[in-house]
């Protein structure tokens, strides 16, 4: 019994220290975003600013292309989510429930594509979008999501396979075609998994850096992560604004996370173990 409490205390300490290690740097960053430039560059640094310069945040919203970056990030993330939900659920449903030629071979291909590192196909993708005259537009950042990514297919297939077949059979009796069954019967029942897929697609696109760096050249077309980096020149001598801008860009994801924490965890469980 005594051993158990000792282990408990060690466990508690590990968790507590580790949580502090996670949170304190973010708190420090938050304080940095509320400093004057003089405080921000002070040596030795002061942790908490004298007065909180909330005006740093309003400066961010006024200056530069911050509004445009935010808009672009939302466009890319939301179009990606819509595309992923539709295409992955369609393909996932077919793999879970329908019988069609070459089904097994195709499913092996889905699994195989998951193993291919994106690095080998980045350059041809760039060339494809160049040929289509779509460089320096937002299209390359979201359009692939409309063509069903393997991970989402896998996730949705799993979800549809877990739905009892009786529901579909009665819809079938009433003369529904496969699309109606998929849309009216199965989609509503797969809502939790759809939420997980939506959240993960949104987060992935919102935070993505490689693709925007490759495809975008005009500053007004940048998404938030690379847009904020590009503001360095404009805000030289006012770098605390960049800290505020970065934290602002975290807000939507943070809101989604606080609102739907369980879906974040659910995804890891199903992707990690199954």
Partner 1 sequence: MTSNQQTAGRALAGAGPSRSKRRKWLDQEGRWGLLFVSPYLIHFIVFVAGPLAASLYFSLSDYDMLNPPKWTGLDNYARLLHDPLFWKSLWNTLYFVILFVPSQAFLALLLAVALNRKLKGLKLFRMAHFIPVISSWTVILYVADSVFNPRFGFANAFLTRIGLDPQRWLQDEQLVIPLLVLIAVWKGIGYMMVIYLAGLQSVPGDLYEAADIDGAGAVRKFRAITLPLISPTTFLVIVLSTISTFQAFEQIYVLTGGAGGITAAGGPNNASLVLMLYLYREGFAFMRMGYASALAWVLFTILFVLTLLQLRLQGRWVHYD
185 binds partner 1 (CB under 8 A): no
CA dist., res. 115 & res. 48, Å (int): 47
For residue 260, state whether it binds partner 1 (rule: CB under 8 A).
Answer: no
Instruction: Compose the 240-259 pattern: x for residues touching partner 1 by CB under 8 A, - for all others.
Output: --xx--xx-xx--xx--xx-
Instruction: Write the interaction track for partner 1 spanning residues 33-72; mark x where CB under 8 A is met and - where it is not.
Output: -------xxxxxx-x-------------------------
For residue 146, state whether it binds partner 1 (rule: CB under 8 A). Answer: yes
Q: Find the binder of partner 1 among 34, 77, 85, 224 (CB under 8 A).
A: 224
> How near is the Cβ of 65 to partner 1 at its closest, in Å?
14
Q: Are 154 and 110 in contact (CB under 8 A)?
A: yes
In angstroms, give the least distance from the CB of 191 to partner 1.
19
Is position 175 an interface residue for partner 1 (rule: CB under 8 A)? no
Q: 155, 167, 166: which is closest to 192 by C-alpha?
A: 155
CB of 118 to partner 1, least distance (A): 7
Residues 11, 15: Cα–Cα separation, whole Å:
6
CA distances from 215 to 70, 224, 227 (A): 17, 14, 13
Which of 98, 70, 74 is closest to 186 using CA atoms? 98
Smallest separation (angstroms) from partner 1 to the CB of 23: 5
Element spanning 2, H or E:
helix 2-33
């Amino acid at each position: 019994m005594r051993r158990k409490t000792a282990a408990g205390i060690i466990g508690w300490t590990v968790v507590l220290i580790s949580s502090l290690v996670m949170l304190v740097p973010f708190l420090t960053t938050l304080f940095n975003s509320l400093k004057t430039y003089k405080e921000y560059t002070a040596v030795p640094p002061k942790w908490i600013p004298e007065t909180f310069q909330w005006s740093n945040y309003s400066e961010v919203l006024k200056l530069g292309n911050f509004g445009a970056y935010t808009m672009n990030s939302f466009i890319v993330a939301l179009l990606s989510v819509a595309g992923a939900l539709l295409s992955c659920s369609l393909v996932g449903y077919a793999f879970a429930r329908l019988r069609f030629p070459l089904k097994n071979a195709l499913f092996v291909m889905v699994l195989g594509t998951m193993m291919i590192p994106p690095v080998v196909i980045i350059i041809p993708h760039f060339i494809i979008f160049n040929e289509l005259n779509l460089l320096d537009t937002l299209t390359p950042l979201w359009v692939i999501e409309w063509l069903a990514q393997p991970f989402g297919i896998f996730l949705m297939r799993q979800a549809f396979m877990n739905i009892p077949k009786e529901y579909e059979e009665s819809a079938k009796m009433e003369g529904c075609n496969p699309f109606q069954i998929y849309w009216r019967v199965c989609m509503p029942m797969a809502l939790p998994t759809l939420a997980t897929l939506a959240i993960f697609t949104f987060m992935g696109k919102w935070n993505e850096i490689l693709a925007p760096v490759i495809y975008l050249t005009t500053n007004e077309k940048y998404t938030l992560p690379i847009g904020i980096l590009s503001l360095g020149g404009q805000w030289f001598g006012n770098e605390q604004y960049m800290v505020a801008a970065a934290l602002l860009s975290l807000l939507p994801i943070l809101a989604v996370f606080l609102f739907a924490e369980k879906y974040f965890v659910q995804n890891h469980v199903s992707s990690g173990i199954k």
